[in-house]
Amino acid sequence: MTSINALRGGILAPALSFLERGDVERAYKAYRLIRKRDPRNAGIIFNFANALTARGMAKAAEAEYREALRIEPNALDVLNNLASVVSEQGRYEEALALCEKGLAQKPEHQALLRTRGVQLLQLQKLDAALKDAEKLIKLAPKMPDAYNLRG
């Protein structure tokens, strides 16, 4: 997948700027246009899905994340965000399975560890969630979400 840094200075610059400033509607419109121009670029699809997520459109975002994964099956950030929108829809077991798939590739992926920990909490698997929180604190001691998860 084309890295976000590679796209940041290019065609995504305006859309990223809107999203970073919290102007979700303008970001969504910009990403939608970019997505139509380059429908096979997993990085663009991923960012469009992020804009959909910011707009509260979990089902539409889920479809876009799945499309990005179809193009780039090993994109762990896409997998993490897909797990998050699946979780938003109350499908915690499915979200957990997505996290497990990503963590099988990279066991120390911080975002996936955090997302898996949240799923474990939702499923009342408290000991396992605590283990993820402790591992995350060791990996990223300055990450506030790690401590929130442990709490």
pLDDT along the chain (151 residues), means of 10: 52 79 85 84 90 93 97 96 97 98 96 96 95 92 82 80
Angstrom CA distances, 5 to 1, 8, 13, 108, stand at 11, 5, 10, 22
The answer to whether 49 and 64 are in contact (CB under 8 A) is yes
- Helices and strands (DSSP H and E) totals, the chain: 10, 0
Give me the sign of the Cα torsion angle 19, 21, 26, 30. negative
In angstroms, rounded to a whole number, what is the distance separating the alpha carbons of residues 96 and 7? 30
pLDDT of 14 reads 81
Dihedral pair phi/psi, residue 108, rounded to 5°: -105, 20
In angstroms, rounded to a whole number, what is the distance separating the alpha carbons of residues 150 and 136? 9
The answer to whether 132 and 120 are in contact (CB under 8 A) is yes
DSSP 75: -
